[in-house]
Structure 1
Amino acid sequence: MATTFWVGEVFDPTAADGSQVYSTYDDDWEASYGGCDGVLTPECSTEPRTAGNGYMPSSMTPKENPFYLDLPYDDVNDPVAFAERSTVIPWANEPGYAGQETNKNFSYMKNRWVKLVMNDRVCFGQVEDAGPGQYHDAKYVFGSNNARPANKAFNRAGMDVSPAINGCLGFSELDGQDDKLSWQFVDEADVPAGPWLTIVTTSQVNN
């Protein structure tokens, strides 16, 4: 199950993780992204995305990839995830990642590419936040015995996706919690041409 979130969204101002003005990896996420990933009404609201303009927002030009998502594993700020990340993340010892296990300014998860499939549609996106609801769900995120998400909120969603991914996959709702997809991590070299490569996010942790 996947829900939709967007840069600049504030869905619960009283919750520690109730705002997408910042992400777990970027305290200035909205500024880094270039503003509200949607329309100001006056709050930052989502909007339909279409292939005609590459699933881009209608009112701004992003500075980072609009094809973003989160997964329930915060390998920087969650103490459990940080302590185990070099042993549970499959690519932790690959070039570009090896030797970073104690570096709080480096995330193994941020910018990682994910392939997403819903019905007959295939899209790609980058991990840019953590959630929903859980932050060290290693069994689910890294595929241990086909584990289901530990999260019980938001209809047991296992990830949030951006409006661009919502439109690309053809979600039934702009901001619902009834759409199901399949996903897997992929190497950047295996990401095919598509609108998700128009802008690629490369920035590291900004906390």
Structure 2
Amino acid sequence: MRIINKKIIYFVVLLFILVGLGGVWERTKEEPTREKQEEDILYKSVMTTVFWVGENSDESNGFIPNHKSYWDSLWLEHYGGIDDPNDRCGYNPCAFIPKENPFYFALPYGDRNEDGTQKDSVKLIPWYKNISNKESQIKNVWIEIKYKNKICYAQWEDVGPFEDDDFDYVFGKSEPKNIFGVSAGLDISPATWDCLGMTDNAVTKWRFVEEKDVPEGPWKLIITKSSVSF
């Protein structure tokens, strides 16, 4: 009788252990790790569209031409020509080799007032530095972009889409203010678009990264170093 009782006790204990392990396994399988949760917080998920240096104005872009950028009145000239999205040789336009990085993007925040002075909000930028008012705090900054199983990197070279003072989205936790078209919160260049394997407007994830953390890749073959040029 004692032997039977012991066997029953062992069986019950073993059953509880197995049930407990099963619960832990299910939670581990279903719940993302803390590291994954913290990583996801760093990314912003937004509708993403394509734009390019030299793009003409039409209904699709709110009749805003891209011959010059927010920081460069001669962007088209300094880049080397029209970054034609329909005539590509690798990540470059077939007509020429760009003078600046073909991996570029636009976010809807600019760091200057209409008179050229820095906005007060600039001092709230995480990497703010006390530099000359003639320099930009954000031009040439890098971001990492994820789409499906692809990760690519690009530099900040223009402001948009359709907004230029959406600080709370770009540096905070708000949704983009833009409600025009597909309500995009990020514009990317043809090279970045192709690198991600995109074929239509879609939601991507992005986050800021320091240049030292940008891995080697086609996005580092030509790095834009130019400053503000009006």
Provide the TM-score with structure 1 as the length reference: 0.82
Alignment of 1:74-89 (within 5 A): 74-77=110-113, 82-89=118-125
Q: Distance in 2 between matches of 1:112 and 1:154?
A: 26
CA deviation digits over 1:70-102, x for unaligned, max 9?
Answer: 0000112457x932233221100xxxxx222x6
Structure 1 residue 169 corresponds to structure 2 residue 196: yes
What percentage of aligned pairs have identical amino acids? Answer: 40
Q: Distance in 1 between matches of 2:204 and 2:67?
A: 26
Alignment of 1:61-140 (within 5 A): 61-77=97-113, 82-92=118-128, 98-100=129-131, 103=133, 105-140=134-169
Q: CA deviation at 1:17?
A: 7.1
CA contact 1:4–1:161 (8 Å) conserved in 2:
yes
CA contact 2:112–2:119 (8 Å) conserved in 1:
no
The correspondence for 2:209, drawn from 172, 177, 186, is 186
Q: CA deviation at 1:154?
A: 2.5
Structure 1 residue 23 corresponds to structure 2 residue 73: no
Q: Distance in 2 between matches of 1:76 and 1:83?
A: 5
Counterpart of 1:155 in 2: which secondary structure?
Answer: coil
Structure number with bigger Rg: 2
Q: CA deviation at 1:138?
A: 0.8
CA deviation digits over 1:23-75, x for unaligned, max 9?
Answer: 0100000000011111xxxxxxx21657xx3x111111100000000000011
Q: Distance in 1 between matches of 2:166 and 2:51?
A: 19
Counterpart of 1:154 in 2: which secondary structure?
Answer: coil
Q: CA deviation at 1:109?
A: 1.1
Counterpart of 1:185 in 2: which secondary structure?
Answer: strand
AA aligned to 1:151 is N
CA contact 2:145–2:205 (8 Å) conserved in 1:
yes
CA contact 2:144–2:209 (8 Å) conserved in 1:
yes
CA contact 1:78–1:135 (8 Å) conserved in 2:
no
Residue correspondences, number: 182
Q: Distance in 1 between matches of 2:75 and 2:63?
A: 13
Structure 1 residue 152 corresponds to structure 2 residue 179: yes
CA contact 2:69–2:75 (8 Å) conserved in 1:
yes
AA aligned to 2:107 is L
Aligned position for 2:221: 198
CA deviation digits over 1:153-192, x for unaligned, max 9?
Answer: 131100110000110011123xxxx311000000000000
CA contact 2:72–2:229 (8 Å) conserved in 1:
yes
Q: Which has the higher helix share?
A: 2
Q: Relative to 1, partners in 2 of residues 1:8 and 1:166: Cα closer, same or farther, differing over 3 Å?
A: same
Provide the TM-score with structure 2 as the length reference: 0.74
Q: Relative to 1, partners in 2 of residues 1:65 and 1:116: Cα closer, same or farther, differing over 3 Å?
A: same
Counterpart of 1:180 in 2: which secondary structure?
Answer: strand
Q: Distance in 2 between matches of 1:170 and 1:49?
A: 14
The root-mean-square deviation of aligned C-alpha atoms, in Å, is 2.2
CA deviation digits over 1:128-166, x for unaligned, max 9?
Answer: 000111111111101x2x311011113110011000011
Unaligned segments of structure 2, at least 5 residues: 1-46
